[in-house]
A and B are shown apart, each in its own frame.
Chain A
Amino acid sequence: ELKVEQNPLFLSMQEGKNYTIYCNYSTTSDRLYWYRQDPGKSLESLFVLLSNGAVKQEGRLMASLDTKARLSTLHITAAVHDLSATYFCAVVTGKLIFGQGTTLQVKP
């Protein structure tokens, strides 16, 4: 059974700092997604990573995928308060399975 694990599950950081969220998964997959969810809202697609070594960047967020290590990272550069949200990774093996989510709190 596919397992997707994120860490940390909660992250409190100061504005301007950098940090990385990790997503490990247990079986081979050809696609990995990152989503953002604000409280009381739906899930917003951030990145789709399709191949080993894929790297995508949008603003202060950069995602990468290492299929051999079964690991994806979401790197936050110079965090700002607007990035406060819960971030999910999700892996496709036929079905789309989500990690537990990482709640990010950026403090001024």
Chain B
Amino acid sequence: DAGVIQSPRHEVTEMGQEVTLRCKPISGHDYLFWYRQTMMRGLELLIYFNNNVPIDDSGMPEDRFSAKMPNASFSTLKIQPSEPRDSAVYFCASSGANTIYFGEGSWLTVV
């Protein structure tokens, strides 16, 4: 199994631009999580899905953030418009049974 696959791995973008982060979960996993990690705030849960349905998006910081999971093998996290304070590492994780695996992360810098 290839594990949780995220893209892009690194992105540098200008303030105001739209950013789309992508995640392919492990096949057969029914939960998908999006996290943001910064030095100041640690690991924050943004949103999670169960069987492609958003269950809890209370961690999404504001309306500029949106996430979708159109099918069991793909999810996106979109930031529009991006701001410098969105600079962070964004992790996607998927879960099946009692295992939760993380992708390698998408390192976002907004200048």
Chain A residues with a Cβ under 8 A of chain B: 31, 33, 35, 41-45, 48, 50, 88, 90, 94-98, 100-101
Among B45, B91, B99, B104, contact of A95 (Cβ-Cβ < 8 Å): B45
In angstroms, how far is the closest chain A Cβ from the Cβ of B7? 14
Q: Would B99 and A94 count as touching, CB distance under 8 A?
A: no
Chain B residues with a Cβ under 8 A of chain A: 33, 35, 42-43, 45, 48, 55-56, 91, 93, 95, 98-105
Q: Would A45 and B99 count as touching, CB distance under 8 A?
A: yes
Q: Would A48 and B98 count as touching, CB distance under 8 A?
A: yes
- Please list 14 pairs of residues, one from A and one from B, whose beta carbons are closer than 8 Å in the complex, sorted by A's number: A33-B100, A35-B102, A42-B104, A43-B93, A43-B102, A44-B102, A45-B101, A90-B100, A94-B55, A95-B33, A95-B48, A97-B45, A98-B43, A101-B42
Which residues of the partner chain A approach B104 to less than 8 Å between Cβ atoms? 41-42
Q: Would B102 and A42 count as touching, CB distance under 8 A?
A: yes
Q: How far is the CA of A101 from the CA of B105 in the complex (A)?
A: 18
Q: A31-B98, A48-B99 are in contact. Are A42 and B91 (CB under 8 A)?
A: yes
Q: How far is the CA of A31 from the CA of B100 in the complex (A)?
A: 11
Q: Would B42 and A98 count as touching, CB distance under 8 A?
A: yes
In angstroms, how far is the closest chain B Cβ from the Cβ of A8? 15
Interface centre among A35, A43, A45, A90 (most CB of B within 10 A): A43
Residue of B nearest to A48 (CB): B98
Interface centre among A44, A90, A96 (most CB of B within 10 A): A96
Which residues of the partner chain A approach B48 to less than 8 Å between Cβ atoms? 95-96
Closest 6 CB pairs of A and B: A98-B43, A43-B102, A42-B102, A42-B104, A48-B98, A100-B42
Residue of A nearest to B103 (CB): A42
Q: Would B98 and A50 count as touching, CB distance under 8 A?
A: yes
Which residues of the partner chain A approach B95 to less than 8 Å between Cβ atoms? 96
Residue of A nearest to B95 (CB): A96
